[in-house]
């Protein structure tokens, strides 16, 4: 236990560090953020970069476990930072897989079910790093939450083949791939829109076989996925179980089998299945009707010779978290669109991220292969829904709270800002490996809120090594002291406390840990028994 004077010193130091860096006032329960009452402008905050730069020595990052089905194409790129060139290795690589030692890409296929315990290595002129890694060949995909990028909240209906290629290039050039980001996902607007004014969006809806066509902005889908795969990344696509997508483009209704076969033919690895016009198909909003299209599509996906991760996008209807896994979903949206209104993003973050999650005890439903999805990371430059882009309306503190909460609740880390325009601040938010380690923890046990006093909240997540990740959040309008007690966290005895954003040890504490947290901010720490 630290002496009182030492504790006070630590608190003052932590206070000074967090004042400028790190959640938003709770809004009403209404889902229509656009109609929320206007709020006072947030005070100016410096965009303090908390994440230290990675060292020159090699370090292996990202997930520690990966799932694949027997016979499916295998692709996993070892995420590693450090001075280039890096030579990669895998000790115990199972038969059927090969490693490109220059890129770290593992490819091939596994013929039979089984669990393979291997050791990843990365070596450069500064040293060698190693890390245990588990490959699970079986029926379950997405053993950790998905990490990647989605086009919607920056490019919406303007997305093109060139934009998707540039996004894949940027995921590599920015180094995001070195921290575990994997998926490059097209959202809506890639298929034909029959009533479009832009001729590039017109054309034959389907080919002679009945398979769906892409519009003129995507002249060769297979070439696009080949480009993405060649970089060691995976490709995602979007459609709806209804006749049309949310933006009015042709979707899968009554062509589900053919469309999935088309996605396999094109080489896609991820499918976002958005409810949209299925409203006009469903007889009612009973759970049976809500489940029907997702049962159908997951059954079709299960028969394919290619792994396609399935995201159920239906905004939390019918308490989807209670049955999403049973109908084959690997993740499911838990609420409405976080960015449905540009100005409403801060309120939506705290309503949908904090309050919906806690009120419904969503931590009870997530786990390996089945994740609660509160929507994308709305950082950097986003669509302003007026034909342009603008910096996220989230303050720096709110952005730290955003990423911290997603890591604590084991949410997919899918960035949806302009990946080609990443500044150092946004990149620091996306690539802190100690924060990512929390999100990607192989135990897969989502965190929960364990204490709330007014605007102050404490969240905890149990991790595989017996440690705890703890978030101290302040949803109030001024600096406040937030305390996490050992009783609330489920720990006893002295605990070693580490600040995850700054990757800095804070000392050993007993009984509780307290820190001053800035307006709408967070202090994210990890506790180990000392």
Q: What is the CATH number of the domain that holds 427?
A: 3.20.20.70
Q: Which pLDDT value is given to residue 40?
A: 54
Which residue reads 């009182």 in tokens? 4
Q: Could you confirm whether 505 is annotated as catalytic?
A: no
Bridging pattern class, strands 65-68 and 127-137: parallel
The b-or-e profile of 226-255 (16+ CB within 10 A means b, else e) is ebbbebbbbbbbbbbbbbbbbbbbbbbbeb
Instruction: State the Cα–Cα distance between residues 289 and 283, nearest whole angstrom.
Output: 7
Same domain, 222 and 342: yes
Same domain, 256 and 169: yes
Q: Which pLDDT value is given to residue 16?
A: 36
DSSP 211: P
Instruction: State the Cα–Cα distance between residues 43 and 20, nearest whole angstrom.
Output: 11
Same domain, 415 and 525: no
Instruction: State the Cα–Cα distance between residues 134 and 64, nearest whole angstrom.
Output: 6
Task: Compute the average pLDDT of residues 178-203.
Answer: 98
Same domain, 99 and 205: no
Let me know if residue 142 belongs to a domain.
no
pLDDT band at 41 (very low <50, low <70, confident <90, very high): low
Q: Exactly one of 187, 269, 337, 433 is catalytic; name it.
A: 337
Q: What is the CATH number of the domain that holds 90?
A: 2.60.40.10
Q: Could you confirm whether 352 is annotated as catalytic?
A: no
Cβ proximity of 23 and 42 under 8 Å: no
Same domain, 115 and 179: no
- The tokens of 47 are what? 């965009």
* pLDDT above 90 (res 21): no
Q: Which pLDDT value is given to residue 210?
A: 97
Same domain, 90 and 48: no
Cβ proximity of 360 and 319 under 8 Å: yes
Dihedral angle at the C-alpha atoms of 172, 178, 181, 185, nearest 10 degrees? Answer: 10
Q: 132 burial class (0-12, 13-18, 19+ CB within 10 angstroms)?
A: middle
DSSP 421: G
More confident residue, 222 or 20: 222
Let me know if residue 64 belongs to a domain.
no
Q: What is the pLDDT of residues 333-361, one digit of tens each?
A: 999 999 999 999 999 999 999 999 999 99
Bridging pattern class, strands 448-453 and 234-239: unpaired
Task: Compute the average pLDDT of residues 470-494.
Answer: 98
Q: Exactly one of 187, 274, 375, 418 is catalytic; name it.
A: 274
- The tokens of 269 are what? 């690895």
Q: What is the CATH number of the domain that holds 461?
A: 2.60.40.1180
3-state secondary structure 87-154: EEEEECCCCCEEECCCCCEEEECCCCCEEEEEEEEEEECCEEEEEEEEEEECCCCCCCCCEEEECHHH
Domain count, the chain: 3
Same domain, 9 and 42: yes
Q: Which pLDDT value is given to residue 13?
A: 37
Cβ proximity of 461 and 446 under 8 Å: yes
Let me know if residue 398 belongs to a domain.
yes
Q: What is the pLDDT of residues 512-530, one digit of tens each?
A: 999 999 999 999 999 999 9
Same domain, 184 and 224: yes
Cβ proximity of 131 and 64 under 8 Å: yes
Instruction: State the Cα–Cα distance between residues 128 and 34, nearest whole angstrom.
Output: 52
* pLDDT above 50 (res 239): yes
Q: Across all residues in the chain, what is the average pLDDT?
A: 93
Q: Which pLDDT value is given to residue 43?
A: 75
Let me know if residue 61 belongs to a domain.
no
| Domain termination site, one of 137, 160, 188 | 137
Let me know if residue 59 belongs to a domain.
no
CB atoms within 10 A of CB 55: 12
Q: Which pLDDT value is given to residue 5?
A: 33
Q: Which pLDDT value is given to residue 118?
A: 98
Q: Which pLDDT value is given to residue 44?
A: 86
Distance of CA 85 to CAs 121, 217, 226, Å? 13, 36, 24
Same domain, 477 and 388: no
Query: What's the distance, CA 212 to chain centroid?
Result: 28
Length of the chain: 530
Q: What is the pLDDT of residues 363-387, one digit of tens each?
A: 999 999 999 999 999 999 999 999 9
Let me know if residue 160 belongs to a domain.
yes
Q: Which pLDDT value is given to residue 12?
A: 33
Let me know if residue 58 belongs to a domain.
no
Domain containing residue 314: 147-439
DSSP 505: E
Same domain, 86 and 160: no
Task: Compute the average pLDDT of residues 502-508.
Answer: 98
Q: Is the dihedral of CA 226, 231, 232, 238 positive or negative?
A: negative
Q: Please work out, in degrees rounded to the nearest 5, the angle formed at the alpha carbon of residue 250 by the alpha carbons of 222 and 207.
A: 55
Instruction: For residue 427, give the 3-state DSSP assignment.
Output: helix
More confident residue, 83 or 8: 83
* pLDDT above 50 (res 30): no
Which residue reads 């970069």 in tokens? 49
Q: What is the pLDDT of residues 442-463, one digit of tens each?
A: 999 999 999 999 999 999 999 9
Q: 454 burial class (0-12, 13-18, 19+ CB within 10 angstroms)?
A: exposed
Nearest of 80, 78, 90 to residue 55 by alpha carbon = 80
Q: Which pLDDT value is given to residue 26?
A: 28
pLDDT > 90: percent of the chain = 92
Distance of CA 401 to CAs 175, 271, 353, 375, 397, Å? 23, 28, 10, 15, 6
Cβ proximity of 376 and 339 under 8 Å: yes
Q: Which long-range contacts (CB under 8 A, 24 or more apart) does 114-119 make?
A: 114/138, 116/92, 117/92, 118/90, 118/91, 118/92, 118/93, 118/94, 119/90, 119/91, 119/92
| Domain termination site, one of 439, 472, 505 | 439
pLDDT > 70: percent of the chain = 92
Q: What is the pLDDT of residues 123-156, one digit of tens each?
A: 999 999 999 999 999 999 999 999 999 999 999 9
DSSP 138-197: SS---SS--EEEESHHHHGGG--HHHHHHHHHHHHHTSGGGGT--EEE--S--B--TT-S
Same domain, 492 and 421: no
Instruction: For residue 280, give the 3-state DSSP assignment.
Output: helix
| Domain termination site, one of 439, 464, 498 | 439
Let me know if residue 499 belongs to a domain.
yes
Instruction: State the Cα–Cα distance between residues 21 and 235, nearest whole angstrom.
Output: 34
Same domain, 89 and 151: no
Query: What's the distance, CA 480 to chain centroid?
Result: 29
């Amino acid at each position: 236990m630290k002496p009182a004077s030492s504790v006070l010193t630590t608190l003052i130091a932590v206070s000074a560090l967090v004042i400028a860096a790190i959640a938003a006032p709770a809004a009403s329960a209404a889902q229509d953020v656009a109609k929320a009452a206007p709020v006072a402008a947030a005070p100016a905050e410096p965009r303090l970069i908390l994440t230290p730069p990675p060292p020159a020595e090699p370090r292996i990052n990202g997930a520690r476990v990966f799932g694949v089905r027997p016979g499916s194409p295998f692709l996993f790129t070892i995420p590693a930072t450090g001075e280039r060139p890096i030579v990669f290795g895998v000790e115990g690589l199972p038969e059927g897989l090969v490693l490109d030692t220059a890129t770290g890409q593992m490819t091939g296929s596994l013929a039979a079910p089984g669990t393979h315990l291997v050791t990843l290595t990365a070596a450069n002129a500064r040293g060698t790093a190693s890390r245990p890694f588990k490959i699970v060949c079986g029926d379950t995909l997405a053993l950790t939450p998905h990490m990647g990028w989605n086009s919607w909240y920056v490019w919406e209906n303007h997305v093109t083949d060139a934009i998707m290629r540039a996004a894949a290039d940027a995921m590599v050039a920015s180094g995001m791939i070195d921290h575990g980001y994997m998926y490059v996902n097209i959202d809506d607007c890639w298929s034909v829109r029959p009533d479009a004014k832009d001729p590039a969006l017109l054309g034959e809806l389907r080919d002679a076989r009945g398979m769906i066509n892409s519009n003129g902005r995507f002249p060769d889908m297979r070439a696009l996925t080949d480009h993405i795969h060649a970089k060691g990344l995976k490709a995602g696509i979007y459609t709806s179980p209804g006749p049309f997508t949310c933006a009015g483009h042709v979707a899968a209704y009554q062509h589900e089998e053919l469309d999935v076969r088309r996605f396999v033919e094109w080489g896609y690895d991820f499918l976002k299945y958005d409810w949209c016009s299925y409203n006009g198909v469903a007889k009612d909003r009973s759970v049976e009707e809500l489940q029907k299209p997702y049962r159908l599509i997951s059954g079709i996906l299960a028969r394919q010779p290619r792994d396609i991760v399935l995201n159920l996008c239906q905004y939390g209807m019918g308490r989807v978290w209670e049955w999403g896994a049973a109908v084959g979903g690997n993740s499911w949206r838990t609420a409405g669109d976080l960015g449905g209104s540009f100005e409403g993003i801060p309120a939506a973050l705290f309503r949908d991220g904090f309050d919906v999650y806690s009120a419904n005890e969503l931590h009870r439903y997530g786990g390996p292969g089945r994740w609660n999805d509160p929507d994308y990371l709305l950082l950097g430059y986003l669509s302003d829904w007026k034909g342009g882009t603008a910096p996220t309306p989230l303050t720096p503190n709110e952005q730290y709270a955003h990423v911290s909460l997603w890591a604590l609740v084991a949410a997919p880390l899918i960035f949806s800002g302009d990946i080609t325009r990443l500044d150092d601040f946004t990149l620091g938010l996306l690539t802190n490996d100690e924060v990512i380690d929390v999100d990607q923890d192989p135990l897969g046990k989502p965190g929960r809120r364990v204490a709330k006093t007014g605007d102050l909240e404490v969240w905890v997540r149990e991790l595989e090594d017996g440690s705890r990740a703890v978030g101290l959040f302040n949803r109030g309008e001024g600096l406040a002291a937030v305390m996490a007690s050992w009783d609330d966290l489920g720990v006893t005895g002295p605990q070693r406390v580490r600040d995850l954003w700054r990757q800095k040890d804070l000392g050993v504490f007993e009984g509780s840990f307290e820190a001053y947290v800035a307006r709408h901010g967070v202090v994210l720490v990890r506790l180990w028994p000392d």
